[in-house]
Structure 1
Amino acid sequence: MHRPPLAAVLVTAAVLLTGCASVDDWSQRRPTPSAAGALEVGFTGRDGSPAPESTVTPSPGSWSGVRPSPGTRVVLLGAGSDRPAKALAKAVKAWADDTDVDLRTVTASDAADLLPAVTRALDLHPDIVVSAGNDLIDPLTTVTPSHLAQKFLIVGAELAEPTENVTAVDWSGASFRGEGLGMSSTYDPASFTDARCAAAIRAGAAAVLTGHTGIVVWLD
């Protein structure tokens, strides 16, 4: 039986390993991904870019023309086993599959792991950290002002005083803002439907990808 030279085998293995690294290794620098498509006028209104910390109420579907460029690196930062947290995580994963996003998941195991989980997500240096779960709001309030170069998207909750790198998507029935402020009187776990959560991740991602950050996107 003819066997290929050892050198050829080693070269082939090196090529295969390099190929895997190019797909899986987030440590490699690359250009910031861009958004494909554009928002409709009904997303922010005719006044242009919203002011920092303002709230916009986009018309339904005005974000549907925007998709992330293929391979956009996103970390789903999750916490909690309640219905809203599970519904949000499911929606983020479905969006990532549909848009060819390179998604990795970091999940806090318990209350003591919340802040370390945020740190693990940051250590991956993703394009966007997407947060799902009310338990993460207080840790994010602590961490996000010190990482202004990192974009954060919070779905189904918001920070009381967000910095320019934090965008949130809320609706009546959501809008938790941290333990110090307590739960909103309108909070309703049943409002975290599959359709609402799917709209939240798509609208929020469209805002971040088009540079409309540091705001709250309010869904009617």
Structure 2
Amino acid sequence: MSKGLLAGAAAVAVLAAGSAQAASTELRRSADMRGLTFLVGGGVEGYTSGLRDQIDPGLAYGVTIAIKPTNVLGLELGYTGAMSEFNTGSVLATNANGPDIVRNGAQAAVTLGLSATPIQPYIMGGVGLSRYNVRAFAPGFQDDTVGNLPVGAGLRLHLGKFTADARVNYNFLFDQEFALTVPPSDVDLGGDETFSSGGRYMGTINVGATF
């Protein structure tokens, strides 16, 4: 009797494994992992180093258009934006109608999947440019255009044409001249090249479709 139960359990296990593998294969076949992807989403954006104490984390949002020639490689163009408030304990600012700082930017990035599966972890890197609009009157802050290098990681889900994406990234700033109270470029890279030790982080959840 025990041998029969063991044989039956083994048979069930084999069938279950086969069914799971078939389901996984079918999911992979039905998932549109290549092609043109449109994503919209939002999350949170904040700052590090000297900027962290002056600007509170705020709302982030964006739109991304990506093309994936393979299951793992992606090329992106995106709009990124954010609305932030000054830390009133560190910055003497008049009240603004709406957010104190509005950032509008664009970036190009490359994504590399760490697996060729419908649930796909990935890494990314690129280059971007943002325009900062300071809407509150705050000594030491001004409108400015700042370049950045975004790097990050995420997890993407492909389910048929539906695509969902959760991502965190860190943006190295070329300078931080929109905030004159902190050094604009305080990392010496040698020669005439400098970089800002302050940066910007962002975490977003995005949804859309792949065609």
State the TM-score, normalized to the length of structure 2: 0.27
Structure with higher helix content = 1
Structure number with higher strand proportion = 2
